[in-house]
Amino acid sequence: MAIGLFTPTWDPAQWLSTFRAHAPDIEIRAFPELGARGDIEFAVAWLPKPGSLQDLPNLKVIFSLGAGVDAILRDDTLPKAIPIVRVVEPDLTHRMSEYVMMQVLMHHRQQWRIEENQRAKKWDSFATPAASDFRVGIMGFGVLGQDAGQKLKMMGYDVAGWSQHRKNVPGIESFAGHGELDAFLARTDILVVLLPHTPETHGILNRALFAKLSRSGPFGAPILINAGRGKLQVESDILASLEAGELHGVSLDVFETEPLVKESPLWNHSKVHVSPHSAADSDPVHITRYIVHQIHRAQAGKPLDNVVDRKRGY
Ligand code: NDP
Ligand code: OXD
């Protein structure tokens, strides 16, 4: 019995040594050096090479090394009946909330303007609105969205969430489904996106959607923060909306194509803040512990947690 590690874009060394430390009883091998493929009972994957998870006759579970599983699901050769488990782990959740709180505050407090002023030695003590003056809308009100939403609420923001199904989170208004999307957008000054990428959410962040956001917030135009997936957004529409003043500012952690190409105008745009898909890193120690715990559960015949619903795609 062995674990197969499928992380072609990452250096496998750290994951191999973390797994060996946390599960010394289980052999772990990194693709493509899998040895006898029949030995592999558990696959651990991040952006696996399409086709690499097929022909593993004794595979029991595929573990994603992240919360999102879009890159695993888009492989047409993926074995059909094998459960896919995603990451739901406090360390990752807290990291995402750090990113969301930081970005919301950077926009709200106009921190980039302050830094520009410092460089120009300009003493410009402009008025700053209160957190309660901003209505933040979290699009994708799941594990990550709810944690970030609750923390923003504690900071004084007026928070709402949008998801497929209604949520019951004290003090946070929950909007559900397409029927309530427009009302959610109309009350949103700062849009935080933590949706998964699925056929339904592909390209959802487009100019038509931005036009439905509130124009009555402190800046007179809305702010977009996307840390969900790049394929949710239409980057040419983001640029056009910024140009037209329909968006006030944007923070993007994820992109249509990653890494973001050097030629992209997003890099140098004064109203766009780019980070390299680093909002919430998968920490090897925390995530390995989480996966090893689940492997031991599976070996004991107990049910797995956080199994992905393949039909809905997340
Ligand atoms: P969850 O599955 O817990 O939450 C997803 C949320 O999106 C749910 O509330 C779900 O609704 C909602 N949703 C999905 N599809 C739709 C739709 N068509 N219409 C309305 N709502 C929809 O996932 P997580 O919170 O754990 O993670 C969210 C995403 O964040 C990941 O899929 C990944 O893409 C991204 N991510 C990015 C990272 C980064 O570093 N940039 C790090 C980690 C994750 P419902 O609850 O009703 O089902
Ligand atoms: C994830 C990610 O899905 O890091 O966890 O993007």
Average pLDDT over residues 27-38: 97
Ligand 1 touching residue 163 (CB < 6 A):
yes
Query: How far does the centroid of ligand 1 lie from the alpha carbon of residue 76, in Å?
Result: 22
| Residue 196 CB less than 6 A away from ligand 2 | no
Quick check: CB of 190 below 6 Å from ligand 1? Answer: no
Output the pLDDT for position 46: 98
Catalytic residues: 229, 277
Structure tokens at 155: 């900071």
Place of tokens 């950077």: 106
Tell me the ligand closest to 196's alpha carbon: 1
Mean pLDDT, range 18-41, rounded to an integer = 97
Which of 164, 169, 193 for mutating ligand 1's site (highest number of atoms within 8 Å of CB)?
164
pLDDT at 305: 97
Question: How sure is the predictor about 231, in pLDDT bands with cuts at 50, 70 and 90?
Answer: very high
Distance of CA 314 from the midpoint of ligand 2 (Å): 12
Name the closest ligand to CA 283.
2
Ligand 1: atom nearest CA of 229 is: 34
For ligand 2, pick from 231, 277, 282, 306 the residue to mutate: most ligand atoms within 8 Å of CB: 282
Q: Which pLDDT band, with edges at 50, 70 and 90, does 107 fall under?
A: very high
Mean pLDDT value of segment 136-151: 99
Determine which residue's CA is closest to atom 19 belonging to ligand 1: 164
Q: Across residues 270-288, what is the average pLDDT?
A: 98
Tell the residue nearest (CA) to atom 17 of ligand 1.
164
For residues 221-250, average pLDDT: 98
Query: So what's the pLDDT on residue 101?
Result: 98
CA angle 293, 294, 300 (to 5 degrees): 95
Q: Are 50 and 31 in contact (CB under 8 A)?
A: no
Tokens of 133: 């003056």
Banded model confidence at residue 176, pLDDT cuts 50, 70, 90:
very high
Query: With contact defined as beta carbons under 8 Å apart, do 195 and 139 qualify?
Result: yes
**Reported confidence tier of residue 236, pLDDT bands at 50, 70, 90:** very high
**Percent of the chain that is helix, strand, coil (3-state, to 5):** 30, 20, 50
User: For residue 39, what pLDDT is reported?
Assistant: 98
Ligand 2 pocket residue status of 66, Cβ below 6 Å: yes
pLDDT score, position 189: 99
**Residue 121, phi-psi category: left (phi > 0), alpha (psi -120 to 50), beta (remainder):** left
Q: Which residue has the CA at smallest separation from atom 1 of ligand 2?
A: 66
Percent of the chain past pLDDT 70, that is, above it, reads: 100
| Confidence band, pLDDT 50/70/90 cuts, at residue 89 | very high
Average pLDDT, integer, range 126-140 = 98
Q: What is the mean pLDDT of residues 147-163?
A: 99
Give the model confidence (pLDDT) of 6-17 as tens digits: 999 999 999 999
- When pLDDT is cut at 50, 70 and 90, the band that residue 234 belongs to is very high
The predicted pLDDT at position 259 comes to 98
Mean pLDDT score, 235-253:
98
Q: What is the pLDDT of residue 228?
A: 99
Q: pTM of the full predicted structure?
A: 0.98
pLDDT confidence of residue 298? 95
Q: Supply the mean pLDDT for the chain.
A: 98
